[in-house]
Structure 1
Amino acid sequence: MDTLGNSFSMLKNPAILKFIMQGVLFTMIISVAAVLFSIVIGTGLALLRNYCTNKKTGILKVLSVIYIELFRNTPLLFWIFICVVFCPVPGFANKQMFGLSSVNNKLLFKATVALILYTSGVIAEIVRGGLNSVASGQVEAGYSQGFSMIQILWYIVLPQTFRSIIPTLLSQVITTIKDSSFLANVAVIELMARTKQVLSSANRYNGLNAINVSDVFVLFGVAAAIYFVINFSISMTVRNMQKAR
């Protein structure tokens, strides 16, 4: 019990708490950025897959299918390592920002790109399901009113699509937040990576000059609790939306 008490005492250290909370912030920034970009890319892919059916645009449908199936059927961790090795980094990400070194910012950018690539393939199929739920008569009605295809998609099809997929989309947000923990494998400074860093130096803070099993349970237990609180809040939002429908 004394050992467990020493492990919990680390959580009273303001520096450790601040370090972990910064990890929570980076987790949310990465997840929000990944979801927003993935919605844009995924929507484009879904539209190409559904509506590029003639000879002139058929190649776009083929390319969208290849993209979606490639990223949906391969592991996220694989793409994280691929992006860390091969993804180019723009100038703005190759600087000291957010209190991080240029090296950490480069890794953060590359890992976020991997998460966007992977998540956009999943969201594309979610959006496509929503597109398929819109009656074909809606498109015909739009044409009868003199709308172009772009206007039909923008004013008629997409609003109905996103209204129908909001619960599923929020469920994917939960998955993306959890998937961000994979970034800890390439030393990106999000919640899981920072938890591992605190654990690696726990002997300096627990007063025992050694890392104990209780340190693992306490630190990773705190990380799990944080993930649970964030994701459970979103999950309850999804549940309330489904009840309201």
Structure 2
Amino acid sequence: MEVFSSANVMFMLGGFVKTLEISALSIFFSLILGTVLALVKAYAAKPFSLLVSAYIELFRCTPNLLWILFIYFTVKGSDVFISTLAFTIFTSAVMAEIVRGGLNSIPQSQFEAAQSQGFGFFATMRLIILPQTFKTIIPALFSQCTTVIKDSSYLAGINVAEFMYTSKVVMAKTQSLNEVLLVYGFVFLLYFALNFGISLFVRAYQRRQVAA
């Protein structure tokens, strides 16, 4: 079938790889920035905490696509850089709330015990609190990962050659409805397999935690 020639399939898979690259980078940097934002909101002086709260609410109450377009028209750089930046500034607000929820789940006795052993704030966070926090938020973290992967399809709107864009290019080469539907099915299967795999991992992790 012409639409599934080796060249077309490799072209679409190249887009899928770019989707994975952008998603992984965005999640990585979002988690770092989100952790910093969560710590500032939870423990910094009130003016800084309020600034972080405003940042979080700004991005949580506006569409991701809006910021993708804003970054696209205002920032110079490669497709990967622009895409990663847009997703990072948006997703970090969500990550901040996830991390803050994890911080709130840690008993106060953990902080008191660390203080009694002479640990400073940063040592307490790095060695005691954050490791427990990240362990707690793994299900929510991976749920957000699937959201980032799915939302990466918005990048097709700014001509980033991710999976949805490359698939649309291939679909444009045919006038056959059946072939178009087959390409949609191919896109569906790869997105579903990736995100369902993440979902299965989270369920297995939760079962192990309950069993422990």
| Residue equivalent to 1:15 | 7
- Work out whether 1:79 is the aligned partner of 2:67: yes
Match of 1:63 in 2: 51
Provide the identity percentage.
Answer: 41
Q: Which segments of 5 or more consecutive residues in structure 1 lack a partner in the other structure?
A: 1-7, 90-105, 203-210
Partner in structure 1 of residue 30 of structure 2: 38
1:242 paired residue number = 206
Contact 1:195–1:219 (CA<8 Å) still a contact in 2? yes
Where does structure 2 lack aligned partners over 5 or more consecutive residues? none
Residues 61-70 or 36-45, more deviating: 61-70
Asked if the contact 2:3–2:170 (Cα under 8 Å) also holds between the matched residues in 1, the reply is no
CA displacement, residues 160-207 of structure 1 (integer Å, 9 cap, x when unaligned): 1001011111111111110111111100010001011111222xxxxx
Alignment partners' CA distance in 2, 1:173 and 1:108: 17
Shift of the alpha carbon at 1:241? Answer: 0.6
Tell me, yes or no, if the aligned pair for 2:26 and 2:88 is still in contact at 8 Å: yes
State the one-letter code of the partner of 1:182.
Answer: Y
How far apart are residue 136 of structure 1 and its match? 1.1
Deviation at 1:9, TM superposition (A): 4.4
1:186-229 superposed Cα distances (whole Å, 9 cap, x missing partner): 00010001011111222xxxxxxxx1322321111111111001
Deviations 1:88-141 (A, max 9, x none): 43xxxxxxxxxxxxxxxx233212211111111111111000000001111111
Check conservation: 2:68, 2:83, Cα contact below 8 A: yes
Aligned to 1:97: none
RMSD (CA atoms): 1.2
Structure 1 residue 164 and structure 2 residue 152: aligned?
no
| Aligned: 1:178 with 2:166 | no
Matching of residue 224 in structure 1 with residue 212 in structure 2: no
Is 2:128 the counterpart of 1:140?
no
Relative to its length, the structure with more helix (as a share) is 2
SS across alignment from 1:127: helix
Task: Kindly report structure 1 stretches of 4+ aligned residues shifted beyond 6 Å.
Answer: none
Amino acid aligned to 1:23 = G
- 1:91-102 pair list within 5 angstroms: none
| CA deviation profile, 1:50-101 (whole Å, cap 9, x unmatched) | 001xxxx322211111111111111010001000011243xxxxxxxxxxxx
Q: Is the 8 A contact 2:22 2:84 kept in 1?
A: yes
Larger Rg: 1
Equivalent in 96, 100, 112 of residue 84 of structure 2 = 112
CA contact (8 A) 1:107 1:186 kept: no
